[in-house]
């Protein structure tokens, strides 16, 4: 009865307006898992012809359950394609069939039911298994930019960011920005006044004075106060 139904399905499929007619595998074919198998087909002289069809893919089914796509983007006029069937399906049986699926124009052509043997019988095999296909389960690939959350220099960026620190030492003193121009000042500071004058005449002449004043106000003066209080 099942065979009859399959035969009816096969006949109706091949009678449908579909240019592909599978010539291998056929009903008495037994493929070996883990080996290359050649799938062949020909133009069955009905519309659309193979030349009018877009690329096709080849799906493997066991019974009515989708197993895997064996090949994609096949040129229908090529007439054959090599496929490899994974032994990890672990099901020797004669209830396999393939479907040629074309999107443009949309059509699906079934091969006859055929057999596959040499399936592995060991459980832990990396590969496909025969879980029922479920179209309603979406396959979502999450690409989470986790690295941005754990960037090691995230805090460095925040400390390097120029944040002017305005210090107001006394109510009468003008605001003094510490952060600005700190680095380039270091070599000039180590040089004598004459050298500074030779290297850049009139270039920020007041800076060193401001720096000295700054040191007086913020370093020397507190130190003196501390010393005097300690005495």
Q: What are the backbone angles phi and psi of residue 68, rounded to the nearest 5°?
A: -165, 160
* Residue with Cβ nearer ligand NAG (139 or 163): 139
Smallest distance from ligand NAG to CB 160, Å: 49
Instruction: Name the segment binding ligand NAG (CB under 6 A); options: 112-120, 150-158, 183-191, 203-211.
Output: 112-120
* Residue with Cβ nearer ligand NAG (132 or 202): 132
* Residue with Cβ nearer ligand NAG (31 or 196): 31
* Residue with Cβ nearer ligand NAG (121 or 155): 121
Nearest Cα neighbor of 82 from 146, 113, 36 is 36
* Residue with Cβ nearer ligand NAG (132 or 184): 132
Q: Is 134 in the site for ligand NAG (CB under 6 A)?
A: yes
Q: Which of 102, 107, 109, 119 binds ligand NAG (CB under 6 A)?
A: 119
Q: Which of 24, 29, 46, 92 binds ligand NAG (CB under 6 A)?
A: 92
Residues that bind ligand NAG (CB under 6 A): 90, 92, 117-119, 121, 132, 134, 136-137
């Amino acid at each position: 009865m099942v065979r009859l139904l399959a035969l009816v399905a096969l006949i109706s499929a091949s009678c449908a307006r579909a240019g592909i007619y599978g010539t291998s595998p056929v009903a008495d074919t037994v493929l070996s898992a883990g080996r290359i198998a050649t799938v062949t087909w020909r133009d069955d002289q009905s519309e659309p012809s193979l030349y009018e069809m877009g690329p096709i893919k080849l799906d493997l089914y066991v019974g009515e359950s989708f197993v895997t796509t064996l090949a994609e983007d096949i040129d229908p006029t090529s007439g054959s394609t090599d496929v490899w069937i994974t032994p990890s399906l672990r099901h020797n049986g004669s209830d396999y069939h393939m479907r040629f699926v074309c999107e443009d124009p949309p059509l699906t052509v079934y091969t006859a039911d055929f057999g596959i043997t040499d399936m592995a019988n060991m459980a832990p095999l990396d590969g496909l298994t025969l879980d029922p296909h479920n179209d309603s389960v979406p396959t979502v690939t999450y690409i989470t930019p986790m690295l941005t959350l754990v960037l090691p220099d995230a805090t460095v960026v925040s400390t390097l960011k120029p944040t002017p620190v305005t210090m107001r030492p006394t109510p009468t003193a003008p605001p003094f920005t510490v952060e600005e121009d700190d680095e380039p000042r270091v070599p000039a500071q180590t040089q004598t006044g004459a050298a500074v004058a030779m290297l850049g005449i009139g270039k920020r002449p007041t800076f060193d004075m401001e720096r000295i004043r700054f040191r007086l106000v913020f370093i020397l003066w507190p130190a003196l106060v501390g010393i005097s209080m300690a005495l």
